[in-house]
Amino acid sequence: MPIDPKKHEMPTQSPEVRAHNFSEVALGYSEETAVLEANRCLNCRNMPCVCACPVNIRIPEFINRIKARDFDGAYDVISMTSSLPAVCGRVCPQETQCESRCTMGIKFEPVAIGRLERFVADRHNAFGTGEVSRPEPNGHRVAIVGSGPSGLTCAGDLAKKGYAVTVYEALHTAGGVLVYGIPEFRLPKKIVAQEVETLKKLGVDIETNVVIGKTLTVDELFEMGFEAVFIGSGAGLPNFMNIPGESLNGVYSANEFLTRSNLMKAYLDNPVTPIMKGGRVAVVGGGNVAMDAARTALRLGAEHVYIVYRRSMEELPARREEVEHAMEEGIDFRLLNNPVEILGYNNPDDPRDPKNGFVTGMRCVRMELGEPDARGRRRPVPIDGSEFTLPVDTVIMAIGTSPNPLIKDTTKGLEVNSHGGLIVNEDGLTSRENVWAGGDAVTGAATVISAMGAGKTAAQAIDNALRG
Amino acid sequence: MYRIETKRVLNPSVVEMEINAPLVARKARPGQFIILRVDEEGERIPLTVAGTDKEKGAVKIIFQIVGATTEKLGRLNAGDSIRDFVGPLGVPTHTDGIKKVCIVGGGVGCAIAMPVAQEFHRLGAEVTSVIGFRNKELVILEDEFRACSDRLIVMTDDGSYARHGNVTVPLKEMLEAGERFDMIITIGPLIMMKFVTLTAKPFGVPVTVSMNPIMIDGTGMCGGCRLSLVRDGKRVTKFACVDGPDFNGYEVDFDEAISRGRMYFDFERRAHEEVCNLFKGVN
Ligand SMILES: Cc1cc2nc3c(=O)[nH]c(=O)nc-3n(C[C@H](O)[C@H](O)[C@H](O)COP(=O)(O)OP(=O)(O)OC[C@H]3O[C@@H](n4cnc5c(N)ncnc54)[C@H](O)[C@@H]3O)c2cc1C
Ligand SMILES: Cc1cc2nc3c(=O)[nH]c(=O)nc-3n(C[C@H](O)[C@H](O)[C@H](O)COP(=O)(O)OP(=O)(O)OC[C@H]3O[C@@H](n4cnc5c(N)ncnc54)[C@H](O)[C@@H]3O)c2cc1C
Ligand code: SF4
Ligand code: SF4
Ligand code: FES
């Protein structure tokens, strides 16, 4: 059989249709396609793909099970190392991780590892019994701060070993960025809810509406009898550009915009939470967050959506698939452009004019790529006299986030680096005894799979420390 | 779920409730707030902690019915439950070194100011309270303020009760008469806080204002509650939910805050009408 040079396409909703709904864009492989795609895998002995996966999923092994149509077996292989395959199969930047090192990728397109992983997980969730057996309690108690991928993974691994685990979450729903950030059309909420349900069946206690540092402190958790604490509080603090006009009405952080839409359900037909929709929208930034904000704005009914990014397509850090989907949907990419000021309406004759204080446009300057910096990335430099105004009604800043200082500020002896990230050793142990940390709270904004990996590492280290 | 323990109607549009939330009750200090959600489809709204009963594990809130969410909340009764209740959020009001304080409250802002006045009274400071309302019908918490103030001045805009005029009138009189406070703490509509600050300025008396912008998470995650301070000629952005809600009145850019407060005006008016219509059908 000749080798198929290309990945099997995953069916998607057509761009014209999906631009107006919040249902999932990509529809997943059928069994037939999954088996065909699995057959492209060469079962390489040296397994380069496995080393490029942050949690070292035994990729050829699970793909072999798909080839044999042993889908349950494939799921078992994946779940040995990953606890959120339905999530990672959807949102991992495969092109820079597992698939980047795939042998097939040297001459052809790599094996669609992410799509296969998603297929296996979805099939399991659709047909699996959902039964989980509660392990024998081992008498130890651990508290987890934050219910994002790092916290959920750490909680799950410890619960499976018999720990009594309580997860404290500041918001009213568990899931972290998976529920408040990443939109429904890319990661349906019910997938996350299902993962959370599984944890509950394992005996994990999830306490929402508890802000550690406010409602309870880390020290109080120890007083309450927890023997170890894992901090997976993410990097939720939004950055702004500090340019004039950023406090005008109609300027959002991506976090606010996405939270209003996702968590507060402003995407529903008759929402209780307001959000600016319609009109022209500019999203500043080039990462996954920017793509999600732009595509959410489009689905909420914007006439025209720009992505304004100061570097070129090559440096755009978002997942490739999302960039392609965004382009198909008609998002207008204004690359090598950088905002310098946001303009607002001001009627000097009538201070009560209701339009006063609302965004009317964004001044941008064109950029060119200069010399490479220390990390080899070519630095964008402004072109003199190239300023122009983009007429827009809403501006969404998606230029990154930092770890929230709330826990650091209320916990003595917890050290952070200059970016606000908690300092940990290779096991995830912080500068405080019996306090571990992982995920974005340590690294700054990164990926779901790396947060998950950190949760796993810490769970193992906690187990070693408490039962040694 | 969080149970409503008690409910008291203070005036036609202001309601007091005690909510069962032991963790919040244990921790909350004057000046802090909570965020609640009435039901699964509800909006998150911030309300100040108006008192706590640590033994009962209850947190008191006092709110004015202004829109969709407060309307829904106001229709619940003792024994009902609300979906979410998180706190205490924000930084407690600074009380250190303040021996003589003037509390200036406006409208439902008086509900936010009351626990602060009580705290100063408990700490042994000399408390002057000036509370203002649009008219007699809207006066709330007069007895509570009397109990914790060395001197209480009640004002109504239309003169239908107590003294006629707004809160800056007696404040100015006191300052002009040479009275000095270690701190003036003002809580109420933005425009009132702006004018209280302007009134105090010529006398060099420090002013603390309690900012209440639109909030979502209350933990510093969305940036929706941001406001600008002008400090040493430089603009700095602060998040009211984690850096406040109390700020130095002389630094706050009130005009910007007032403008930001209007962002969802139309939406909210429509949402409120809808909830009212909904209940009209029921009643
Ligand atoms: C819009 C968006 C799109 C993204 N797209 C992708 C993608 O396609 N692929 C990918 O791999 N990654 C993506 N990421 C990044 C990825 O989601 C994060 O790296 C990952 O979620 C980090 O996990 P975490 O567990 O460290 O923290 P988070 O997911 O941030 O969760 C932290 C949780 O802790 C809670 N918390 C914070 N402080 C406290 C406290 N004091 N007390 C109690 N609880 C607290 C928070 O409310 C939150 O629920 C995206 C991020 C965003 C914002
Ligand atoms: C830190 C903080 C503490 C607060 N404490 C109290 C309190 O103790 N008691 C109380 O009654 N209210 C308090 N508020 C205001 C309260 O949160 C709002 O009244 C509430 O969110 C209105 O919700 P709604 O859905 O009923 O009305 P909406 O439909 O949201 O709004 C109706 C009207 O109220 C105005 N409004 C909305 N939000 C605010 C706000 N944050 N501040 C002022 N006006 C607003 C709108 O512009 C509109 O005119 C506080 C606000 C903050 C930020
Ligand atoms: S978890 Fe992510 S990186 Fe690892 S195999 Fe799956 S898709 Fe690839
Ligand atoms: S590198 Fe590619 S072809 Fe080789 S085993 Fe991994 S997935 Fe299969
Ligand atoms: S309410 Fe979201 S940052 Fe303050």
Mean pLDDT of A171-181: 94
Mean pLDDT over residues A225-245, rounded?
95
Asked if residue B243 lies in contact with residue B219, where contact means CB atoms within 8 angstroms, the answer is no
- Which bound ligand lies closest to the C-alpha atom of B46? 2
Decide if pLDDT at A130 tops 70: no
Q: Which two three-digit tokens encode residue A77?
A: 């292989």
Which ligand lies nearest the alpha carbon of B273? 2
pLDDT per residue as tens digits for the range B146-173: 999 999 999 999 989 989 999 999 999 9
The CATH number that domain A15-127 falls under is: 1.10.1060.10
A242 touches chain B (CB under 8 A): yes
- Our CA-based measurement puts residue B153 at a distance from the nearest CA of chain A, in whole angstroms, of 32
Ligand 3 pocket list (CB less than 6 A): A 53, 55, 57, 59, 82, 88-89, 92, 94, 97-98, 113-114, 117, 449
Chain B residues with CB-CB distance to A180 below 8 A: 221
The band of B190, judged by pLDDT with boundaries at 50, 70 and 90, is: very high
The answer to whether the A141-236+402-467 and A242-398 domains have the same CATH topology is yes
Q: Give the pLDDT band of residue A8 (cuts 50, 70, 90).
A: very high
| Between residues A260 and A116, the one the model is more confident about | A116
A205 touches chain B (CB under 8 A): no
pLDDT in tens, A435-460: 999 999 999 999 999 999 999 999 99
How sure is the predictor about B270, in pLDDT bands with cuts at 50, 70 and 90?
low
- Secondary structure (H, E, C), chain B: CEEEEEEEEEECCEEEEEEECHHHHHHCCCCCEEEEECCCCCCCEEEECCEEECCCCEEEEEEECCCHHHHHHHCCCCCCEECEEEEEECCCCCCCCCCEEEEEEECCHHHHHHHHHHHHHHCCCEEEEEEEECCHHHCCCHHHHHHHCCEEEEEECCCCCCEECCCHHHHHHHHHCCCCCCEEEEECCHHHHHHHHHHHHHHCCCEEEECCCCCCCCCCCCCCCEEEEEECCEEEEEEHHHHCCEEECCCECHHHHHHHHCCCHHHHHHHHHHHHHHHHHHC
Q: Is B85 on the interface with A (CB under 8 A)?
A: yes
Residue A195: the pLDDT is 86
Question: pLDDT (tens digit, 9 = 90+) per residue, B252-262?
Answer: 999 999 988 88
pLDDT at B282 over 60: no
Is 80 exceeded by the pLDDT of residue B27?
Answer: yes
Residue B98 pLDDT greater than 50, yes or no: yes
Beta-carbon contacts below 8 Å between A and B: 105
Q: Is the Cβ–Cβ distance between B48 and B33 less than 8 Å?
A: yes
pTM here is 0.92
pLDDT-derived band at B268 (thresholds 50, 70, 90) equals low
Atom of ligand 1 nearest to the CA of A319: 8
What's the CA gap between A406 and A374, in Å, rounded?
32
Superfamily of segment(s) A141-236+402-467: FAD/NAD(P)-binding domain (3.50.50.60)
Return the domain boundaries, chain A: 15-127, 141-236+402-467, 242-398
Mean pLDDT of A56-83: 93
What is the rounded average pLDDT of the residues A152-171? 96
Work out the pLDDT band at B280, boundaries 50, 70, 90. Answer: low
pLDDT confidence of residue B151: 94
Average pLDDT over residues A43-47: 93
CA–CA distance from B103 to each of B67, B150, B162 (Å)? 27, 11, 18
Superfamily of domain A242-398: FAD/NAD(P)-binding domain (3.50.50.60)
pLDDT over threshold 80, residue A88: yes
Dist CA B170 CA B166 (whole Å): 8
Which pLDDT does position A349 carry in this prediction? 87
